[in-house]
Amino acid sequence: MPELIDEPTETQSPKIEALLADAPISAAETPVSTTAHRGIFSRIADRLPINAFLQRSVWGIGDQGLISANNFITMVLVARSISPAAFGAFALVYSAILLLNILQHTLITWPHNVLGTAPGTAGYRRYTTSVAAGQLGLSLVLSALLAGAAAICQVRGLSAATLLWAAVPALFFWQCQEFTRRVLYTELRPSAAFFNDVIAYGLQGAGVAFFWWNNQLTGALALVILAATSAAATVIGLAQIRSSLGGGFDLGAWRKSWKFGKYLAGAELIGWCSSLPIYLFVAAILLGSAAAAQMKISQVMFGPTRVIAYFLATVLPTQFARSLTDHGKHALRAQLRKTLLIVAPILIGYCMLVAIFPTFILQHTAGRQYIHSGDILSLYAVEAVIGYAQMLLAAALSAQQRTHQIFLGNLWGGLLSLTISWPFIYYWGITGALAAMILANAFVLFFFATACAKFFRDDTAAPQVSAAGEMIHAS
């Protein structure tokens, strides 16, 4: 498989340090060693009889496998425990949480993964501490928004109030746990991230399975379990990254994260308009919550492929950025091609399998109440292939720090989606929703591919560093 993660280094990079601190590099700015704080899982990984790259790949794939397995089990068991209409309502609330998580991913963790490439330095500690404070403030604000929505539903006597109240702590602690997890990936500590996810997702899956076995599982209870296990993992995660916190706050770190993430946030939010969640809401409005349940269960069937997809989304932005900074755009292009050649056959093969045997798969997972959704599942397989290709190209564009291209692609795709989704769903139902998703996302994929091709053709497109330490890159 492709070499997606390099060996961690404790040497200070002036180029990267210039991104993380406004002050000039000082000779006294010596790296702060994190070796003493490495956990037992990292030390065990060092003793395994395999090379460092394979060690990190195994930990990363295992981590994503754990998360994907938990998400698959949770969704399937909740779907089997409640009616399609109730599962549709649960899917809508869960999608609202994911929508709010976009802000965390684009403004907090994604910038940290790409800009925080000098672990162990004092500048990195200031940067991580400042970003952690921003994460806390963002999570409190977003949780307050959910609480406000729950209160409104409570006053109006809507059944969604119970789900929304359960979603408030779920959102807050999930974001806190995800922050510590992504910091561990920035520091190339996948074994520590895996251990943290065993607490968060392993216990979550076990809790969901326990209450399902006892016929007590509901959508609200699943969210409460998510909150409890994420809170426990957050405590452990803070202990794991304690050596990366401290050294004061740096408002410049917030400016850098905002400068990097603002286009990503806009792109992801606009891209949300051409993704499954927005279609869940439109379908629920026009066709009822049971229609949203059919679409959501189709997405759930692709959980096994996210073992690769989430791993690529977590590792590739950081790895691509390191390759481009250290070896230039030719190394980035070679790594992009190698990754594509490895993962494409696996993802396309799985999607073809699901498209050919949709009814059999649905009957033996979600249950007989979803066996009439086979055509929907087959269409979603086409959309899934397009989505995974988008993920790969978005990682390359973010490494190039050309996030405005991601924004523009999703802007036009989102506008196209909003234009055609309502009439498509109105006239052709759920099938129309999937057709609109495929058209919109195919356009975004074409836009990303064109932007990447232009970057590799243009000799002036590679990022450079000025004498002041600021990144210079073509638009």
* pLDDT value at residue 40: 53
Task: Quote the CA–CA distance of 321 and 318 in Å, as a whole number.
Answer: 5
Buried b (16+ CB within 10 A) or exposed e, 373-382: bbebbbbbbb
* pLDDT value at residue 3: 33
First to last CA, the chain: 32
Name residues whose C-beta falls within 8 Å of residue 206's C-beta, 6 or more positions apart in sequence. Answer: none
Per-residue tens of pLDDT for the chain, all 475 residues: 333 333 333 333 333 333 333 333 233 333 334 444 455 544 544 444 334 444 556 776 777 788 888 999 999 999 999 999 999 999 999 999 999 999 999 899 888 888 876 776 777 888 888 889 889 999 999 999 999 999 999 999 888 899 999 999 999 999 999 999 999 988 888 889 999 999 999 999 999 999 999 999 999 999 999 999 999 999 999 999 988 888 777 777 778 888 888 888 887 887 787 778 888 998 888 888 899 999 999 999 988 887 777 666 666 777 787 778 778 778 888 888 888 888 888 889 999 999 999 999 998 898 888 988 889 999 999 999 998 898 889 888 888 877 788 888 888 888 888 889 889 998 998 899 899 989 998 999 999 999 988 888 875 554 444 333 333 343 3
CA neighbours within 13 Å on the CB side: how many for 333? 13
DSSP type of residue 365 = T
Q: How many angstroms from the chain centroid is the CA of residue 44?
A: 28
Contact in structure between 296 and 371 (CB atoms under 8 Å): no
Task: Quote the CA–CA distance of 197 and 149 in Å, as a whole number.
Answer: 29
Packed helices 52-81 and 190-197: angle between N→C axes, nearest 10 degrees:
20
* pLDDT value at residue 373: 87
* pLDDT value at residue 29: 35
Task: Quote the CA–CA distance of 231 and 253 in Å, as a whole number.
Answer: 26
Q: How many residues in the chain? A: 475
Task: Quote the CA–CA distance of 343 and 175 in Å, as a whole number.
Answer: 28
* pLDDT value at residue 263: 80
* pLDDT value at residue 399: 81
Q: How many angstroms from the chain centroid is the CA of residue 157?
A: 34
Contact in structure between 403 and 266 (CB atoms under 8 Å): no
Q: What is the pTM of this model?
A: 0.74
157: left (phi over 0), alpha (psi -120 to 50) or beta: left
Task: Quote the CA–CA distance of 153 and 306 in Å, as a whole number.
Answer: 34
Task: Quote the CA–CA distance of 51 and 55 in Å, as a whole number.
Answer: 6
**Tokens 């952690």 correspond to what residue?**
132
* pLDDT value at residue 43: 54
